[in-house]
Structure 1
């Protein structure tokens, strides 16, 4: 998708809804991007995840029409591609950014909700391809705005489920449900502890002793292409050989028994399964450490998680490894890890409160010196 992120300053420069559609919107909604503090590639394996919402958001405005036409404008694509339209009930995948809007109306229609045509304006400051859930933020914001305009009886958790359905079935990205849940239900200042097997969740307040840094490596990733679907297939193959429905079924057995069963799998399935099982353990331990305010302990788990993503799950790239290495060399850093699906994207760093800006600036500067790429500091 050729979306690009914008800043709050850019957003003010866009044509507003009235300039685009010559009337006022009936509803508006927004959804944040997210950064995952712990628990990557566990969500589609029925495991535990620990993301938090970001200040970057996607904003959607909607006005209903009397016909079946949906007209959409996005501020995040080149002006020549900014306007799109289609008819309800005739949604067809175009391999284009409008697929996300079509996915949202198709998912609502499948849920037997009565829809009408609409005019839609989208602007976002969540960077795409950065591993920060730009597509989930877009779908959740779209569904929230449509729900509000049409006065549909749809809960926030329902919005998350519909957004997940839209992305997996219409867009064709085989993602888990973590992103949609945190984008729909997360709270600023808290981590969102989610059991993806039951969708039970808890808001975990973040310790005031920590400041979070998010740096985009400049290497874009995509969930639809590349090795992300391959990792899912490897996990399914591992489950089939172990006689399990999902990796989560390994939870009850004794630790050694689980690891010895995994060790008998052929490579690389053994390593993939080992990552999922140990990452679930890290999420559960991480929640307790955050509740105790133990950032040294949480930072050590972040390092272990990155090593597991790098070696057992093989989803890191030299650029994200370099960012983590540069972060770990900083005295004020508790820990750092790749965040999101991998194959590029961003890293998340836990630093001492008040040190974030200086630490992030130094890491970005050294990163440029080492590999010649520009790193974008997204938080703070």
Structure 2
């Protein structure tokens, strides 16, 4: 393998793949941290995808290569039935085979090559995109009787039960069933969903701040534990069971539990209002809801960081932006903005430039998408 040359599946394993699949990343329009509280979310797929090529083996050996690890030529291996968390990218693959075997699905070994266009730690669900693409590849290769919702639920189990990231169901559901340009209105308790098109007159912007996050790290776990404790103290199974009428009682909880409850309750209400605004193509109301959501994440849920706040403030100051907010789990990641139709590319470019000048970070514009050459 020549230095600097991207290895193909043939280069790595000496034969072509049998299965080639993809799964997208996602941007969440609104509904942050509500999924693990049984609430409402509104994600949509983005054009960036994770690509998986796979070929079955006759033994129980799994051999895997990722173009995104920055380590050329490194093939990692393990035996089916001997999955052991290593705190490396291969844990996602080990988690996939672990949950499939636990669910009673028969597998043999296989070889896999992975290439993701979804930036890691960007708040755009790179891990869910990886989980779902791997599950799709194995479903196809081994003729597994799994539908798209089952794929998503298994993807969540990979993160929670093996990788150790206590995520909700939104990300794998978005990677498995959402589309580009159409929001997925999902009730995470009842697992009911509806597709809601974006209205005319708006461009969607997604800018990665350059500040990476990690859902298996401590802050995300702390927020989830705070919500569980608040629900227990308020005598409900999940914070989804509360309404705005319950907020005076919730606000008497020890700080910061009351503020955590207030974010979840008001964010659920904002998702419902956003769906109605989308249906009515009410762009000013959508913008107001975006900013209110960000302020709630910043003040009540405390998951924003100064760089993200700067990007949102730059959006507030731009006459062509209706609204902007932190998207994803927080502590870094990306912002999503709604801009006047036809202005999105120019708006994204000038906001990214101003942000880079003021923050010293290197932002990346994910939407509107510039033409890219695929390495898969």
What range describes the TM-score normalised by the shorter chain of this pair?
A: over 0.9
TM-score, length of structure 1 as denominator length: 0.94
1:208 is matched with: 200
Counterpart CA distance in 1 for 2:193 and 2:324 is 24
How does 1:33-182 map onto structure 2 within 5 Å? 33-80=25-72, 82-182=74-174
Tell me which residue corresponds to 2:374: none
Conserved in 2, the CA contact under 8 Å of 1:130 and 1:220?
A: yes
Distance 1:110 1:287 in 2: 37
Deviations, residues 262-316 of structure 1 (Å, cap 9, x unaligned): 1221110000000000000000010010011111111110000000000000111
Correspondence 1:1-380 to 2 at 5 A: 14-80=6-72, 82-251=74-243, 255-256=244-245, 258-380=246-368
CA offset digits 1:14-68 (Å, max 9, x no partner) = 3221222122222111110001100001000000000110000000011100000
Distance, in Å, in 2 between the alignment partners of 1:264 and 1:68 is 56
The alignment's C-alpha RMSD in Å is 1.2
Q: Deviations over 1:315-348 (max 9, x none)?
A: 1100000000001111110000000011011100
Per the TM alignment, residue 233 of structure 1 is displaced from its structure 2 partner at its CA by 0.7
> How many Å apart are 1:81 and its aligned residue?
6.9
Unaligned 5+ segments in structure 1 are: 1-12
Q: Distance between the aligned counterparts of 2:120 and 2:80, measured in 1?
A: 26
Moved over 6 A (4+): none
Secondary structure at the aligned position of 1:181 is classed as helix
Q: Is the 8 A contact 1:43 1:176 kept in 2?
A: yes
C-alpha displacement of 1:139 = 0.4
CA distance in 1, matches of 2:265, 2:183: 21
Q: Is the CA contact (8 Å cut-off) linking 1:75 and 1:82 kept in structure 2?
A: no
* Distance in 2 between residues matched to 1:213 and 1:378, nearest whole Å: 7
- The 8 Å contact of residues 65 and 119 in structure 1, kept in 2 or not, is answered as yes
SS of residue paired to 2:153: helix
Give, in whole Å, the separation in 2 of the partners of 1:80 and 1:48.
41
Does the CA-based 8 Å contact 1:69-1:85 persist in structure 2?
yes
Distance 2:91 2:359 in 1: 35
Give 1:79 shift.
2.5
Measure how far apart 1:80 and its partner are: 4.8
Separation (CA, whole Å) in 2 of partners of 1:78 and 1:220: 16
Query: Secondary structure of the equivalent of 1:123?
Result: strand
Question: Taking structure 2 as the reference length, what is the TM-score of the superposition?
Answer: 0.95
**Which blocks of at least 5 consecutive residues in structure 2 are unaligned?**
369-376
